[in-house]
Amino acid sequence: MPFNGKAPSINQIKYFVAVAKYLNFRQAAGILGISQPTLTSQISALETTLDISLFERSRSGTLLSPQGKILLPAAEEVLQSSQRFNEIARDLSEGNVVTYRLGIPPTLGPYLLPFVLPDLHKLKPGLRFYVREAAPNALQHGLLHGEYDLILTPLAGENSQLVTQPLFYEPLKFVVPSDHRLAGKAYVHPEELAGEKVLTLEDRHHFHHQVQLICENIGADLQRDYEGTSLDTLRQMVVMGMGVAFLPGLYIHSELHKPEALHVCEIANMPIERQHALAWRNTAPGRTTFREISSLIKDIIQTRLSDAVSIARA
């Protein structure tokens, strides 16, 4: 009867490989931990399924048939693949080896992740992140539509489809050129900023809208004709005397080690900050792992960046 297309079981393939290795049914059965009649029955069933004689049996012993010799390398590959499949599934189940797609704003990622990811990798060696940068609105849209597994983003609004875990608060610092009339002050009063030309990023950034609101509150003049494409660009525009700006605390902590050309200060009696959170879909299979990751990130930030940000309390 011709091969009927029915797939043999993994156990049958394992039994075939064992008999082919030892060329002795009794010895192979002992190694496999099954009875010799069971082994003989399973090999016979496999041969019937394949419509092939895998072995030559005689009183003098057992030999592989020509067909058996051809099939043996493929059978060994199947067993190796099966073992690898089980190992990967076990690691995924335990959360040990997995790559998550992480979205993060360009105004945060380069100034946070270098402090966080190395320590996180030490704590969770099998954890991997494929990191992509995008504006917060695009990040949330991508998360909802499966483009990301996690996003780290300024906390804004509620969504019933997402779980949002606050991580930390980042201050926004006020920066002026070193020759500006306000340079040298640790604190600047809000009324001193009235009419000041404030530079910011393009309006696709969440950061832009926060600075816009600050300017409305203190009477400063937001410069829409001169918007930076990045925080580095914004910084250079301030250095060149095109205006003043607000810069995120982590950017200043990471990039302004020698800010001779800039003066950094704060607005008196008006703490300005943005809250960052880790978010994921409430149906995500890895949501338990994501809660653990958020806790680990908070601990790392507390250890590495406590001088630049403050941890969000549960």
* pLDDT tens, position by position, 161-210: 899 999 999 999 999 998 899 988 999 999 998 888 999 888 877 788 88
Look at residue 114 and tell me whether its pLDDT is greater than 80: yes
Residue 47: predicted pLDDT: 92
Contact 286, 98 (CB under 8 A): yes
**pTM assigned to the model:** 0.68
Using one digit for the tens of pLDDT, what is the confidence trace for 257-285? 666 678 999 998 888 888 999 999 998 88
Contact 265, 217 (CB under 8 A): no
Sign of the C-alpha dihedral computed for residues 133, 115, 213 and 256 taken in this order: negative
Domains 10-94 and 169-273 share a fold: no
Q: Which residues contact 151 (CB under 8 A, 6 or more apart)?
A: 102, 103, 104, 139, 140, 142, 143, 278, 279, 280
User: In the CATH scheme, what is the code of domain 169-273?
Assistant: 3.40.190.10
Residue 132, CA distances (Å) to 105, 257, 290, 303 in order: 8, 26, 18, 25
pLDDT confidence bin for 2, thresholds 50/70/90: low
- Number of helices followed by number of strands (H, E) in the chain: 10, 13
- At the second CATH level, the architecture of 98-167+275-311 is 3-Layer(aba) Sandwich (3.40)
Look at residue 97 and tell me whether its pLDDT is greater than 70: no
Look at residue 9 and tell me whether its pLDDT is greater than 80: yes
Strands (E), 54-161: 55-58, 61-64, 98-104, 127-133, 150-154
Amino acid identity for residue 124 in this structure:
K
Q: Which residues pair with 273 in a beta bridge?
A: 171
- Per this entry, what is the length of the chain? 314
Look at residue 116 and tell me whether its pLDDT is greater than 50: yes
**Mean pLDDT across the chain:** 87
Residue 1: predicted pLDDT: 45
Looking at CATH, the fold of the domain delimited by 10-94 is given as Arc Repressor Mutant, subunit A (1.10.10)
For the chain, which residues make up each domain, given as ranges?
10-94, 98-167+275-311, 169-273
Look at residue 3 and tell me whether its pLDDT is greater than 80: no
User: Which of 19, 3, 6, 34 is closest to 76 using CA atoms?
Assistant: 19
Using one digit for the tens of pLDDT, what is the confidence trace for 201-242? 888 777 888 888 888 888 888 888 777 788 889 899 998 889
